[in-house]
Structures are given as C-alpha cells and as structure tokens.
Amino acid sequence: MTGSCGPPEAVAKALDALGTGAYLVDERGSIVAVNTHGAQLLGRPASDLVGQDAHDLMHRNKCGEPVPRAQCRMRESILAGRTEQGGDEWFERGDGTLLPVAWLVTPCDIGMRPSATLVLFHSAGHSRQPAQRSPAGGRMSELERLALLAETTTLLTSTLDIHEALRRLIDLVLPRVADWAVIDLIRERDEVHRFAVAHAEGGTVIFREDLQGPMPPVPQESPLPLSRALRGVASSFAGPETYQGSPDSGIAVEQQHLFEVTGMHSAVMVPLRSLHEVLGALTLGRADQPEPFTGSEVALLEDIARRASFALENARLYQRQRTVAETMQRHLLPTLPRTPGRDMTARYLPAPDASQVGGDWYDAFTLADGATALAIGDVVGHDLDAAAGMAQLRNMLRAYALSEQKPPSKIVQWLDQATEDIAEVSLATLVFARMRENDTGGCELSWTNAGHPPPLLVTRDGVTRFLTEGHGVLLGVTPDQPRPDATVELPPGATLLLYTDGLIESPGHALDEGLERLRRHAASLAHRPLEPFTDQLLARARPPDNDDDVALLAVRYVPGSPPCGKRRRR
C-alpha cells in the first residue's frame, strides 16, 4: 500500500491516537517517528530515538545481550516487508533495564521514503511463542486491529484525492476483514452514486463496473439497512434474507440484485458520516469467508468508517476550495480581442495543488493607435494575495497603456514605480509588447522584458528564436531604473509565444533544458493550426513533474487586410 503521512511530527501525533506503544522505521530500520506512549515504555525521549537504528539501539535477548542481526525475527520481518507478530523480544530501556514486549510489525508507506514499517508493541510479563498472523477472514487479534486502524489513519489522511482515498480504503479492508466491499456516496442534491463494488480474488481486488453507477434516491422512512446507513441512522447487519421480501424502494431492488450476484451471506452496512453531513455508506460482505460478522467486528468497522469519513470530508473541502480557486483564477483572465491580420489564443492550466491560486496571467487588448498590446506575467506567490496582486497589476498596465502612446519600456517603468504605493505586489515578472504595422507594411513587434522567460518566435518553416533582447530586472527591485526596448519584424505565418515559467521549469533540471524542450516541440508543431499547435505544445513541453500553474499566449501573424494592428492615419 502506498501513501504519505507527512512530516515526522505529524506522524508521531497520528500514532498518539493508538492505545499502545508505536514507532515507524524506514527501509534501513532507522526510527522515523515514535508516539508518546512508546517513548514512555522505552524510557527514552523521542529525540533519543528518532534517527537511531532500532535493532542496534534496543533489540536484546533475555540476558541483555545484543541479538545478532541474522537471528532477529522483528528485523527480518521489517526488511522483508511482511506483517508479523511475536512475543520473544526484549527492548533495552534508557536506564539499561529490559522490557519484554509483544509486538506486531506491518508495512506502512509514508511517501517521502521508499518504504516504512509500523511497529506496535506493549509490555509483556513473560516471553511467549511467536504468534502467527491470523488468516484472511479469521478473527483478528488486538494488535492486528490496532495495526489496521493505524494504517487507515495514515493512508487515508495522506491524500486529498477522494477517489484515491476510497481505493485505499478498499485495499485496507479486502481481504483482511471481508471479501466484498461496496461504497455508496451521496453527491450534491442528495443523489446516490455507487462508487465501487470490489471483490478480493486470489490476492487481487477486482472491481465490478457492471454493479457500479447511479442509484435510486434514499427513502426517508425505509427500515432496511442501506437506507438507514445512507441517512446516517445506524450500522446494521444484513444478509440475502434481508432483501427477500417485497422491496420498499428502488435502492432495495438494487440491494436484492447485489446479494444475488455477489453471493454474500453476511454483510455489515456502516454510515460514512462526518461532523457536518452524511457522506455515504460502506458495505462489507462475506461470501467466500464462512464466518458471519460479529458485534465486535461491527465496532471495528465503525471505527474505520469514522476515520475514513474524516479523510473524505477533508478531501471534499479541499476539492471545493480547489474548484473555487480555479474558477476565481479563470474569471480574472481576460477575453482575447478579435483582430484582423492574426490569430490569437491563450491557455491557463492550474497547478496540481490548485487550492493555491497562482499569480500567472496574460492579457491582450487594442490600443488607441490601433496597435495590439500583449502581456504575460507572474506575480510572486501562490495564494489569494498573488491573485489579487495579479489583477491589480493587469488593470494598472491597461490603464497606462491605453492612456499613453509610449514605448513598452516607459509603460512598464511607470507600472514598476506605481506598484510600490498602489498595488499589493512585492515582486513580479512581465513581458509587455506592442504589435503594429510598420512603415513597410509588415508586422512589427516591440517589447520590454522585466525578468520574465524570453518570448519564443517560431516561423512557419519551424525556425525558432528566443527574443532575449530588451531584458531588464523584474518588477519591485529598482523601480526608477530605465528599461530597454527591443524590436523585431515578424515574418508571415510566424507564431509568437508568451508563456510563464511553469511551462519550462522542472525540479532537479536546469532551466536551459526546459527552454530547449519548448523550442524543439514548438518547431515540430509549426505547421499545425494555432489551436492544436497550442494544445499539443502544452501536452508535450510541460514537464511531467510540474508543480506550478502555466499561462500561455500564442499569436500567429496572418497577413490580411488590414495587417497586424494597422495604425490610424491623422
């Protein structure tokens, strides 16, 4: 199983919820985190434990002698990634005394490391023979229950993707607790969706897509188990006999079919309920495993459901915040003008962590003299302040550019000076350009660059050139320093690309690599129409490990009448 449970402090806090001593070790056997109860049992502060090799520090025989590494069952289980338990180990405490322990180890991936193992232990008054792990479907020992609950907390709270959390939940309970798992979710407007019907077969989990999909509404008065669970009333046992009578609702009809197809002879239906709402229901059933569910197992499943509900609520809140953030960002971006003489398109892709609104932006508008203004920028930060600063910067740039027919360098210099007192922007990068018809009837681009990645010019024959001229410092550094301008004539059919750094930057790779990747893909796509050119360029050039948002403005010069931002004659 995979997942991420965060930094050691967060892991230790999660482990404190367990009612026994617990610590995590990495793939080398070094302690990653320990809970408070474990540190107390070992008579050592957590600071003396974290980072130490658990075997070398603590594992002893009954005489207090170090256990040879090749003979230590606990270490062997950790290195092999197996879930095992035993009671023939002694731990050396901080004061040198020996603590006889009963223990259980189980794999627990914490994401930041290749693998990790959770060790649960408690004081034992005497040594005993090693205990074997209960077979799937058998009665679980107390340590196994604790291990399952620990894994539930660790794995489900380490993702903010709802579907991933639910898939992890299914992997946790199959086949340890049941051989069938069904998850029903309540969506907006109280619609019920059967998210998953999964069956453990030969060590793998098979999803029955034919049994998944939309469900009838929840009846408000039905006493049947799933209806009660989806109303958040209570957990209930169920079997095929439960739904043998005349169905009282559409959901009961679906349940009849479910029991017939799966062959479940015993099932438990548990509400997935947060503090604020009912999220759905978890059904666990047994068909291959002969034992029916017991009352003690229902209590375990309710505990699992509570932990799962907490994780699902967090994921739903995150998803809502993500949607709001992305919607806000998109509404702040402009509609591109329709201008004869060229095609124009733009794209904005939010960062994977889109709960943090980015400061990437683009703009294009027609100036008073008939030229077209083009801008691309990035405000430092990834939060609502960055988005607000981006909106202020864009509006101020428009105001200066529309009111004053000045070169791009002068407009940006005024903008830089104004941001000190008006806009809530600390640092920002920007390319501001003007496209207009020159005296020879061609299309001329003049621009200035304030610390931004250079625009890319691509001819229709695939010849590329980064426009590195006109480069100055980013906004917010030296507002009074004069800025340079640069000018180039665009050949017919050429495409100008203005983009933000999310398209070229990648952790662990040089910026030149990203620029070269962008250049080569743009050249190979030069013959494509502008819309597919832009879509394919984003798909191919954007780094797969990109963690930033991307804005892209593409303009293709198509000679026509009038060409490229024709000037008004006076």
- Residue 346 belongs to a domain with what CATH number? 3.60.40.10
- Got the DSSP string for 329-397? HHHHSPPPP--TTEEEEEEEE--SSTTS---EEEEEEE-TTS-EEEEEEEES-SSHHHHHHHHHHHHHH
Residue of 143, 140, 173 whose CA lies nearest to 156: 173
Q: Are residues 349 and 316 in the same domain?
A: no
Q: Are residues 121 and 33 in the same domain?
A: yes
**216 vs 195: CA distance, rounded Å:** 14
Question: What was the pLDDT predicted at 128?
Answer: 33
Does 504 map to a domain? Answer: yes
Question: What was the pLDDT predicted at 3?
Answer: 38
Lowest mean pLDDT among 86-100, 431-445, 463-477: 86-100
The angle at the Cα of 411, spanning 410 to 417, to the nearest 5 degrees, equals 90
Does 81 map to a domain? Answer: yes
Does 507 map to a domain? Answer: yes
Task: Give the residue numbers spanning the domain of 290.
Answer: 159-323
Question: What was the pLDDT predicted at 334?
Answer: 77
CATH number, domain with residue 57: 3.30.450.20
Average pLDDT over residues 202-231: 91
Lowest mean pLDDT among 41-50, 365-374, 384-393: 384-393
Q: Are residues 296 and 403 in the same domain?
A: no
Question: What was the pLDDT predicted at 472?
Answer: 94
Does 535 map to a domain? Answer: yes
Q: Are residues 319 and 338 in the same domain?
A: no
CB neighbourhood size of 278 (10 A): 18
Does 568 map to a domain? Answer: no
Rg (CA), the chain: 32
Q: Are residues 252 and 397 in the same domain?
A: no
- Residue 286, strand partner residues: 266
Decide which of 266, 291, 323 is a domain's last residue.
Answer: 323
Does 152 map to a domain? Answer: no
Percent of the chain with pLDDT over 70: 86
The answer to whether 447 and 373 have CB atoms below 8 angstroms apart is no
Q: Are residues 175 and 298 in the same domain?
A: yes
Question: What was the pLDDT predicted at 209?
Answer: 93
Q: Are residues 371 and 504 in the same domain?
A: yes
- Quick: pLDDT tens for 137-191: 456 777 777 878 887 877 777 777 788 888 889 988 898 899 999 999 998 778 9
pLDDT at 344 over 90: yes
Question: What was the pLDDT predicted at 130?
Answer: 32
- Domains identified in the chain, total number: 3
Residue of 238, 254, 245, 251 whose CA lies nearest to 287: 238
Question: What sign has the CA pseudo-torsion 305, 311, 312, 317?
Answer: positive
Does 236 map to a domain? Answer: yes
How high is the mean pLDDT of the chain?
84
Q: Do β-strands 98-107 and 428-437 pair in parallel, antiparallel, or remain unpaired?
A: unpaired
Q: Do β-strands 372-379 and 428-437 pair in parallel, antiparallel, or remain unpaired?
A: antiparallel
Residue of 331, 447, 328, 425 whose CA lies nearest to 378: 425
Whether pTM exceeds 0.85: no
Structure tokens at 350: 């939010």
pLDDT at 135 over 50: no
CATH number, domain with residue 191: 3.30.450.40
Average pLDDT over residues 228-237: 90
pLDDT at 384 over 80: no
Lowest mean pLDDT among 11-20, 35-44, 291-300, 494-503: 11-20
Q: Are residues 304 and 349 in the same domain?
A: no
pLDDT at 347 over 50: yes
- Asked if the bond preceding 562 is cis, omega within 30° of 0, the reply is yes
Question: What was the pLDDT predicted at 564?
Answer: 58
Average pLDDT over residues 460-475: 95
Question: What was the pLDDT predicted at 569?
Answer: 38
pLDDT at 203 over 90: no
Decide which of 139, 167, 200 is a domain's last residue.
Answer: 139
pLDDT at 125 over 70: no
The angle at the Cα of 356, spanning 351 to 358, to the nearest 5 degrees, equals 65
Q: Are residues 183 and 103 in the same domain?
A: no
Does 148 map to a domain? Answer: no
Q: Are residues 529 and 423 in the same domain?
A: yes
Decide which of 323, 350, 366 is a domain's last residue.
Answer: 323
Q: Are residues 412 and 467 in the same domain?
A: yes
Q: φ, ψ for residue 66 (rounded to 5)? A: -60, 140
- Quick: pLDDT tens for 257-312: 999 999 999 999 999 988 888 999 999 999 998 889 988 788 889 988 888 888 88
**377 vs 394: CA distance, rounded Å:** 9
Q: Are residues 402 and 540 in the same domain?
A: yes
Taking the CA of residue 55 as centre, how many other CA atoms within 13 Å lie in the half-sphere pointing to its CB? 17
